[in-house]
Amino acid sequence: MINHRDQLDAFSSDGEAERYDPVFDCWSTLDHLKCPTTTRCKVTLVRGEFYFIEMNMSSRESTIKRFNVERCSWQTVLSSHEGLRVLPCVVVAGNHLYVCGGLLENDFVTKAERFDTGENKWEEISNMREKRGYTFGVATEGKIFVAGGRENWESCLKTCEMFNISTNEWQLIGSLTVHRVCGSMMCLKGTLYVLGGLDDKYRLQLSVECYDPAEDKWIKKTTIPVKMISRGHNERFMGCVLKLSKAVLDKLDVIKE
């Protein structure tokens, strides 16, 4: 899910796109933003522009595509053999797409690299400290944070890592309170939050935890109210910070009145 222009855009693993409008409290289908791919893709927002990475294991190529607003279609930026992994963590920081970990030839990897959207080229960065796929993360204040995921098919992780962009170094930080794969991490007013995902027994994780950098530990804050989720759609939870402009907040106040 992506916060974009006071609305929330959601992309499924097969490229379908929907948008939530907080003013009208409704979802709508975005056919023009649908990713033209038959493989899993990762959609991100860089400097106000939509990008996605298509992983084609048959041709052994990764393809970076950008949404062209004027043509209202996705345009290929670069196809190469770099950044090719299944189920990596993709995080945006500045002009770069960071691709961390993932699955390559049935083995989880520590590989990490980034794509420069200004220069349209891949750049090497240091590898992570641990192998992990199905992981999740976020960027804030010159650092990349990743958490959880799988290091093998038997178990999942609760360890976390932080990448310092300026020094090109990864370091382990405090671990999550529970094991998670396919969770969500977000940053709200400088604080990192994690929610959702599954544990190593494929049970839904309902707890929400936040990171305390002073103590270097994660703290459970609350629990997701499952009863608010409709039956048949409670196997996964994804989170995103939705920041609204004053104009939108004013409209919401008018509607309430």
pLDDT in tens, 40-98: 667 888 988 999 888 888 888 889 999 988 888 889 999 999 988 888 999 999 999 99
Helix count and strand count (H, E) for the chain: 1, 22
pLDDT in tens, 184-209: 999 999 999 999 888 877 788 889 99
Residue 17: per-residue pLDDT: 87
Residue 148: per-residue pLDDT: 94
Let me know: does 55 contact 62? Beta carbons within 8 Å: yes
Mean pLDDT on 227-244: 64
Q: Are strands 136-140 and 89-93 parallel, antiparallel or unpaired?
A: unpaired
Total-model pTM: 0.88
Residue 248: per-residue pLDDT: 64
Tell me the one-letter amino acid at 197.
Answer: G
Q: How far apart are CA 6 and CA 137, in angstroms?
A: 22
Sorted by sequence, the CB contacts under 8 Å of residue 153 that are 6+ apart come out as none
Tell me the one-letter amino acid at 75.
Answer: Q
Mean pLDDT on 18-38: 84
Residue that the structure tokens 């969770």 belong to: 183
pLDDT in tens, 110-130: 999 999 999 999 999 999 999
pLDDT at position 38 over 60: no
| CATH for 181 | 2.120.10.80
Query: pLDDT-based confidence at 37, cuts 50/70/90?
Result: low
Number of domains comprising the chain: 1
For the CA atoms of 157, 166, 41, 232, the dihedral, rounded to the nearest 10 degrees, stands at 40
3-state secondary structure of 57: coil
Tell me the one-letter amino acid at 20.
Answer: Y
Structure-model confidence comparison of residues 43 and 135, the more confident one: 135
pLDDT in tens, 137-180: 999 999 999 999 999 988 899 999 999 999 999 999 999 999 99
The phi-psi region of residue 125 (left if phi > 0; otherwise alpha if psi is between -120 and 50; otherwise beta) is beta
Q: Classify residue 135 by burial, with Cβ atoms within 10 Å: 0-12, 13-18, 19+.
A: buried
Residue 233: per-residue pLDDT: 46
> What count of other Cβ atoms lies within 10 Å of the Cβ of residue 118?
10
- Provide the residue range defining the domain that includes 119: 2-256
Residue 214: per-residue pLDDT: 95
The dihedral through the CA atoms of 229, 231, 232, 236 has a sign that is positive
